[in-house]
Amino acid sequence: KQEVTQIPAALSVPEGENLVLNCSFTDSAIYNLQWFRQDPGKGLTSLLLIQSSQREQTSGRLNASLDKSSGRSTLYIAASQPGDSATYLCAVEEYGQNFVFGPGTRLSVLP
Amino acid sequence: DTGVSQDPRHKITKRGQNVTFRCDPISEHNRLYWYRQTLGQGPEFLTYFQNEAQLEKSRLLSDRFSAERPKGSFSTLEIQRTEQGDSAMYLCASSLVNNNYGYTFGSGTRLTVV
């Protein structure tokens, strides 16, 4: 059974810092890995999708990498802003299965 | 149609009542998923449809829960005889079969059972 963990559980940084969020999964035979952002009381907003054949994806200040062999993904946020404050969720999909989510990292960027 | 729509956004109900939620997926998406999320946790899978067929149900989906997607378009999730433990955010997502673009989630329905 696929299990997803995320470290740290919570993170507080001053504005302008570069930061890294970590995601680990137990079964490396994944099809897709997707990073989401969730604001309090809201739904999920997709940030980046990495397919199994890819090693990284970039969108603006966000960069996500995938290392299937070690069961890890990282989300790098450059030059953090207060508007980046949210919970970041990692989800992995095995072929023909649904996405399994991690518990999330709660990020606070202080002005 | 630019996203996944869920209705209602919030629902407060008394214990023992039945509730029904609706999800309208992105029109060209043939897969539709229901997830449940409790405070401080990641979403947990409940069930999914490909077109009108319900292909998988989690053991979290007790016999008080039923989901339908009668014409392969919108879906409903009904909870009968609600319990306080059903209080959660119910999230709907849709995707294409080959899922090369990942999931698109709706804004969710927050259920509070009092």
Q: What is the pLDDT of residues A3-37, one digit of tens each?
A: 999 999 999 999 999 999 999 999 888 889 999 99
What are residue B94's DSSP bridge partners?
B32, B104
Which of A31, A41, A43 is nearest residue B106 as measured by Cβ atoms? A43
Chain B (4-43) residues lying within 8 Å, Cβ to Cβ, of chain A: 6, 33, 35, 40-43
Residue B113's contacts (CB-CB under 8 Å, 6 or more residues apart) are B13, B14, B15, B82, B83, B84, B85, B86, B87
How many cross-chain Cβ pairs, A to B, lie less than 8 Å apart? Answer: 53
* CA distance readout (Å), A56 to A22, A33, A46, A52, B106: 14, 10, 15, 10, 26
Looking at residue B72, what DSSP letter applies? S
Is some CB atom of chain B closer than 8 A to the CB atom of A51? Answer: yes
Rounded distance between C-alpha atoms, residue A32 and residue A9, angstroms = 23
Q: What is the pLDDT of residues A39-52, one digit of tens each?
A: 998 899 999 999 98
Segments of chain B with pLDDT less than 50:
none
- What residues of chain A lie within 8 A of the CB of B44, using their CB? 101
Test A100 with B105 for CB contact under 8 angstroms. Answer: no
Q: What is the pLDDT of residue B61?
A: 85
Q: What is the pLDDT of residue B99?
A: 66
Q: What is the pLDDT of residue B86?
A: 97
